[in-house]
Structure 1
Amino acid sequence: MHSYGQFCGLAKGLDVIGDRWTLLIVRELLIRGPCRYTDLCTGLPGIPTNLLADRLRDMEREGLVRREMTPAPTPAAVYALTPRGEALETVIAALGRWAAPLLANPHKDDVFLPHWLVLPARLYLIDRSPRQAPVRVEVRDGDHRVTLEAARGRVSARVGPAEKPDTVIIGQTPIAWQLLLGKIDLAQARKAGLEIQGKTTALKRFGVRPPTKAVFISP
């Protein structure tokens, strides 16, 4: 980890999080919670394993992550964010909003993993009817599951299946995201290959936080 050698908050911050892959490791831990080393490798396509080990070591030294053991009967070493690491969520959110227009023209070699839906869902979706009963939507893309819930005026998102979902969207996550953003309607979504199970009215519960130009187009 190199230092800019400047007495400046921005420079000091970049000394800690400015190296390549560091913020993407934080992204994975924000989305998925504590992760095994192999899970981080899977969630960070293209990262050399030795570089991941170096970054985790640096982040642990700087107090951003901690290494801990899961409980028995199958204990395993996992990496988790510390409170200081979790505080980077607002930084990542601001950077994600700033970079949203750059997603309008994806490169043909760009990789997309379905669980990455979690962060933009937290950033951009709002609960249109906070006084109504909660609704849950599950997005299924192959073996991947992401659950979205609108309840009491906020939208939460997490990796994993939904308990008693009101609606299940089956198909490619980028197309499901276009549907949730209101950029395509149900007919267009089905034509693009999505299958919608359950109450389609539940989808109307989700709105988009203005102003936004959020896009999520499949590479």
Structure 2
Amino acid sequence: MEALGRWGTPLLATGRGDDVFQPRWLTLALPALLRGATAEPPVELGIETDGLRMVLRIDEDGPHVFVRPDDQPETLLIAPPDVVVGFAAGTISPDQAATAGELRGDPDVLRAVFDITSRRHP
């Protein structure tokens, strides 16, 4: 599944155009994009795209994405899927992601995720 996520993720970077997209697919794509990223202590960022809220957690075991409807993360990035993918891929900075979407909470969490992902080892 991870390999399939890595294969399909670059297609999202160009935007979906008229293609069908399910935001739940990002639960596979994000860990694939962020493979090798670790954090101690763990960092959590809420992400909402196309009405689906998920939580990206990066800890000592790597990145994980959870869909937890009752979870209210302290920091939440609300953005279109292409912005989320661009941010995870490192082609969009934290400031660009926040400007293209909406950031609720601590901007340092968004910067921390970006710093962690930019140091990952493929």
- Give the TM-score taking structure 1 as reference length: 0.44
1:51-110 per-residue CA deviation (whole Å, 9 max, x = no partner) reads: xxxxxxxxxxxxxxxxxxxxxxxxxxxxxxxxxxxxxxxxx3224434555555566321
Q: Which of the pair has the greater relative contact order for Cα pairs under 8 Å at 6+ separation?
A: 2
Change (3 A) 1:210 1:111: farther
Consecutive unaligned residues in structure 1, runs of 5 or more: 1-91, 212-219
Q: Is contact 1:135–1:165 with CA below 8 Å preserved after alignment?
A: no
**1:127 corresponds to:** 37
Written as runs of structure 1 = structure 2, the 5 A alignment for 1:162-173 is 163-173=71-81
**2:20 corresponds to:** 111
- The whole-number CA distance in structure 1 between the counterparts of 2:80 and 2:108 is 20
State the 1:144 CA deviation. 1.4
Q: Tell me, what secondary structure is at the counterpart of 1:201?
A: helix
RMSD (Å), alpha carbons: 2.8
1:30-69 per-residue CA deviation (whole Å, 9 max, x = no partner) reads: xxxxxxxxxxxxxxxxxxxxxxxxxxxxxxxxxxxxxxxx
Q: Is contact 1:117–1:146 with CA below 8 Å preserved after alignment?
A: no
State the 1:123 CA deviation. 1.4
**1:80 corresponds to:** none
State the 1:136 CA deviation. 1.6
1:151 lines up with 2:63 in the alignment:
no
Change (3 A) 1:155 1:180: same
Larger Rg: 1
Amino-acid identity (%): 32
1:200 lines up with 2:110 in the alignment:
no
Q: Which moved more, 1:134-143 or 1:102-111?
A: 102-111
